[in-house]
Structure 1
Amino acid sequence: MGSPSTSTIEVLNSVTDGKKYITSEELQKHNKPNDLWISIQGKVYNVTEWSKQHPGGDTPLLNLSGQDATDAFIAFHPGTAWANLPNLFTGYHLSDYHVSEVSKDYRKLASEFSKSGMFDKKGHGVIYSLSFVSLLLSATVYGVLYSSSFWVHMLSGALLGLAWMQIAYLGHDAGHYQMMSTRGWNKFAGIFIGNCITGISIAWWKWTHNAHHIACNSLDYDPDLQHLPMLAVSNKLFTSLTSVFYGRQLTFNPLARFFISYQHYTYYPIMAVARVNLYLQTVLLLLSKRKVPDKVANILGTLIFWTWFPLLVSCLPNWGERVAFVLVSFCVTGIQHVQFTLNHFAASVYVGPPKGNDWFEKQTAGTIDISCSSWMDWFFGGLQFQLEHHLFPRLPRCHLRSISPIVRELCKKHGLPYVSLSFYDANVTTLKTLRTAALQARDVTNMNPQNLVWEAFNTHG
């Protein structure tokens, strides 16, 4: 724990209530892995050691280090988590602690949801989803093993892709501890349905997804927007930003320029095979020296997938059908990859770390909902209400539609965007965003003065 500066001492001497105070400026100096402080409701906590065992990983704490993180803490933690804070208290309070009007309303809303028990009422969606997934997987295996028809085999591949889509939603629920009743069972469910059935590590997903939630649509902090050399949603990525998440430069080189220049044409083909990248990212993480929670279980689960899936494919009569089966399953699942990108690619972006004091504002600016009829909720897994999920990530999906009007009114009250587009319009908006960046990439060699005009009139975000 560092020693207060002269300015801090002056603050300490000026108070008369017996409490010790530091300023937000002093708090900001404690923003390194070996000196990591945050503030929650005006109290300052030293989370340097805690970050090493934090269930959500150290990335969220590092991204909000040296700041007030009250709204993010409320969003991601149940009431029981507050009991851990006294052990981390530094003894200091923030002398200039301030709560905005929108944060007051957000915290009040979160408290009301908690008191009503909404965070614990999971509904019966999990049972329905598991039953549906079991039916799809059974039909897939039956079609492969007991039919000699090419078209039945292709239908089986499509059913497997649909099953993977539904499993991804269940894995998402488990990763947010929404699926099962206890943390342990959620962890087991995440590894079983994530690693074993889809081949995508739940540890990798948590690592990236937690960072995405905290730094929603930050070009250098949010890994969900860092897809160079294949895709770029903003010309700000043309400056070869450094990814804070990956710890490397996002190089915009001639190869990236070529791919980006045509990304509005290649977007759907890329999404169709995006699953290959997820497999690669899983392998890279599990084989890395990085500390991975439940690493052995994640590796074993992934090996189970790479045992049953190749065996199933090998049961098809020839290599042509095997390749076609895999491609069909990937293409169907690609619909989901499109859906996930629609929620953020066309929203506002920014460069720099997230700010704890504009949590609500950043989520509304960086998130787009997909409007659909209630009978389609199963298809989108509840994530068409992306803003509602970002604001209340612990809320089971069965409640997202019911709170949507409340969130809309809160945004209207504070003059914040609430963007909800049809699936078609969201696709069109995303393609326009990609096309704008593509045209800018073609002109990137003439940064002065023409790209300054682009920056002034076409900057996205």
Structure 2
Amino acid sequence: MEGEKRYISAEELKEHNKSGDLWISIQGKVYDVSEWAKEHPGGEIPLLNLAGQDVTDAFLAYHPGTAWQYLDKLFTGYHLKDFEVSEVSKDYRRLVSEFAKAGMFEKKGHVALFSLTAVALLFLVVLYGVLRCDSVWAHLGSAILLGLLWMQSAYVGHDSGHYQVMTSRGYNKLAQILSGNCLTGISIAWWKWTHNAHHIACNSLDHDPDLQHIPVFAVSSHFFTSLTSSFYGRTLNFDPLARFLVSYQHWTYYPVMIVARVNLFVQTFLLLFSNRSVPDRGFNIMGILVFWTWFPLLVSCLPNWPERIMFVLASFAVTSIQHVQFTLNHFSANVYVGLPTGNDWFEKQTSGTIDISCPSMMDWFFGGLQFQLEHHLFPRLPRCHLRKVSPLVRELCKKHKLPYRSLSFWEANKSTIRTLRTAALQARDLTNPAPKNLLWEAFNTHG
């Protein structure tokens, strides 16, 4: 009966907010996920970021209906006292329910089939261009196509990481390893590790790894205080080198994006060969070895070193469009410091994301991620539905006076550069409490 329920307050729930003592609430029922957090498919970090609070909206966003059956064994017997649901959360949950009843989370269209077919055809054309053609223009064209291949393959990896694009979990995992590790050289395990944290703590300067690019980039002057990254577990030192690089980041932004893949390769190796617990470490390493076998061999088949360098840089340059896109979605959006909170989860997603407007015929090029807010609100929703639900999201944001920003690709670039330039000019201000050195003073003395 109702009177027999046991209750705890929100303040008492907050006390269980660390590894080994990790409680959460879902729809007012309190669960102890301390031990299960280590087995959580999304990793422990998302749970730690939302520990000690109600996480209903986030749970609905990332879990299918079948996940509810696993909660009973984690129930503590407690209910959350004075549990209330905000009006925006009620509307959000209504949309999730409507999408589920319409079967939209299961109806994936043929996006994965078309994408994988396109990737396979592009790979064959690239091989033919390099191995069978002698023209430098054919080699350059092959490099461009390889860059497009990497972009489309990354979208397949992204989709398969958020929802099952294949007929079974086993095939879905195979699609992840092939499209991520084998074809792009970027581990799906690394992607999941960072991407899940990014979604939960969207645009938190100290909890979202997708904003933590010191010493090269800083989107906010908050980084000038040497924030501590809870994700990486280290201080992001704003030293003289960081100040110098950040001071010119609006000029170095695009050149850095061209070689950004190098950093992703490095991050992949650092994770796979670290002492962290990495799911399917062996499969991930095997996939990476496949990439580092075929890609160097392909490049070595080019006739001379100038063409080899051209081939690598051209393919990286094409893929940089995707790296730019990822940053356009968040760099110039609102940021904050601290942990995300479950009771304003919807608001945090709207605040930290920017959509890229484009005609429907370009949806394949952006991989659905031009609807960044829609994707953040409904990460399990296949990309073929994102354009359909966009008007509903826009209407919901308008109703609750929340931002819905949709910029053209050109406008989003300008907005991002403005954000980087603002932080760069602030970094140049010598009154900021950062150490000086002779190199820094020399550059500023001579303009």
Letter aligned with residue 54 of structure 2: D
1-structure distance, mates of 2:342, 2:432: 37
Match of 2:443 in 1: none
Contact 2:31 2:74 in 1 (8 A): yes
2-structure distance, mates of 1:122, 1:242: 40
More displaced 10-residue stretch of structure 1: 205-214 or 317-326: 317-326
1-structure distance, mates of 2:177, 2:432: 49
1:59 aligns with 2:45: yes
Letter aligned with residue 259 of structure 1: L
Letter aligned with residue 113 of structure 2: I
Q: What displacement does 1:129 show?
A: 1.1
Letter aligned with residue 153 of structure 1: H
1:317 aligns with 2:317: no
2:75 corresponds, among 89, 104, 112, to 89
Match of 2:250 in 1: 264
1:197 corresponds, among 183, 188, 193, to 183
Contact 1:171 1:189 in 2 (8 A): yes
Contact 2:356 2:412 in 1 (8 A): yes
2-structure distance, mates of 1:337, 1:16: 53
Q: What displacement does 1:16 show?
A: 7.0
Structure 1 residues 338, 16: closer, same or farther in 2, change over 3 A? closer
Matches within 5 A, 1:271-420: 271-420=257-406
2-structure distance, mates of 1:265, 1:332: 19
2-structure distance, mates of 1:367, 1:341: 10
> What do the CA deviations read for 1:370-399 (whole angstroms, capped 9, x no partner)?
000000000000100000000000000000
1-structure distance, mates of 2:321, 2:77: 51
1:74 aligned counterpart, secondary structure: helix
Match of 2:59 in 1: 73
Which contiguous aligned blocks of 4+ residues in structure 1 show a shift greater than 6 angstroms? none
1:17 aligned counterpart, secondary structure: helix
Letter aligned with residue 424 of structure 1: W
> What do the CA deviations read for 1:148-168 (whole angstroms, capped 9, x no partner)?
111111110110001000001
2-structure distance, mates of 1:440, 1:183: 49
> What do the CA deviations read for 1:204-256 (whole angstroms, capped 9, x no partner)?
00000000000000000000000000000000011000000000001100000
2:150 corresponds, among 164, 167, 174, to 164
More displaced 10-residue stretch of structure 1: 15-24 or 99-108: 15-24
Contact 1:178 1:395 in 2 (8 A): no
> What do the CA deviations read for 1:74-93 (whole angstroms, capped 9, x no partner)?
00000000000000000000
Contact 2:163 2:382 in 1 (8 A): no
1:425 corresponds, among 411, 432, 436, to 411
> What do the CA deviations read for 1:173-209 (whole angstroms, capped 9, x no partner)?
0111242233322211101110011110000000000
Q: What displacement does 1:135 show?
A: 1.5
Contact 1:44 1:92 in 2 (8 A): yes
2-structure distance, mates of 1:134, 1:163: 8
Q: What displacement does 1:444 show?
A: 4.9
Contact 1:228 1:250 in 2 (8 A): yes
> What do the CA deviations read for 1:88-118 (whole angstroms, capped 9, x no partner)?
0000000121100000000010000001000
1:260 aligned counterpart, secondary structure: helix
1:30 aligns with 2:16: yes
Contact 1:164 1:333 in 2 (8 A): yes
**Structure 2 runs not aligned, ≥5 long:** 435-447
Contact 2:140 2:310 in 1 (8 A): yes
1:125 aligns with 2:111: yes
Match of 2:440 in 1: none
Match of 2:91 in 1: 105
2-structure distance, mates of 1:338, 1:16: 54
TM-score normalised per structure 2: 0.96
Match of 2:3 in 1: 17
Contact 1:122 1:178 in 2 (8 A): no
2:4 aligned counterpart, secondary structure: coil
1-structure distance, mates of 2:71, 2:112: 32
Q: What displacement does 1:69 show?
A: 0.5
**Structure 1 runs not aligned, ≥5 long:** 1-14, 449-461
Structure 1 residues 162, 125: closer, same or farther in 2, change over 3 A? same
Matches within 5 A, 1:138-153: 138-153=124-139
Q: What displacement does 1:24 show?
A: 0.4
2-structure distance, mates of 1:445, 1:169: 44
Letter aligned with residue 182 of structure 2: C
Q: What displacement does 1:352 show?
A: 0.1
2-structure distance, mates of 1:179, 1:326: 30
2-structure distance, mates of 1:372, 1:47: 42
RMSD: 1.1
Structure 1 residues 206, 374: closer, same or farther in 2, change over 3 A? same
1-structure distance, mates of 2:310, 2:410: 28
Q: What displacement does 1:126 show?
A: 1.3
Contact 1:169 1:381 in 2 (8 A): yes
> What do the CA deviations read for 1:6-29 (whole angstroms, capped 9, x no partner)?
xxxxxxxxx971100000000000
Letter aligned with residue 196 of structure 2: N
Contact 1:177 1:183 in 2 (8 A): no
More displaced 10-residue stretch of structure 1: 318-327 or 276-285: 318-327
How many residue pairs end up in the alignment?
Answer: 434
1-structure distance, mates of 2:426, 2:373: 29
Q: What displacement does 1:124 show?
A: 1.1
Letter aligned with residue 344 of structure 2: D
Match of 2:215 in 1: 229
Contact 2:32 2:75 in 1 (8 A): yes
Letter aligned with residue 131 of structure 1: T
Letter aligned with residue 324 of structure 2: V
2-structure distance, mates of 1:214, 1:383: 17
Q: Identity of aligned pairs, percent?
A: 72
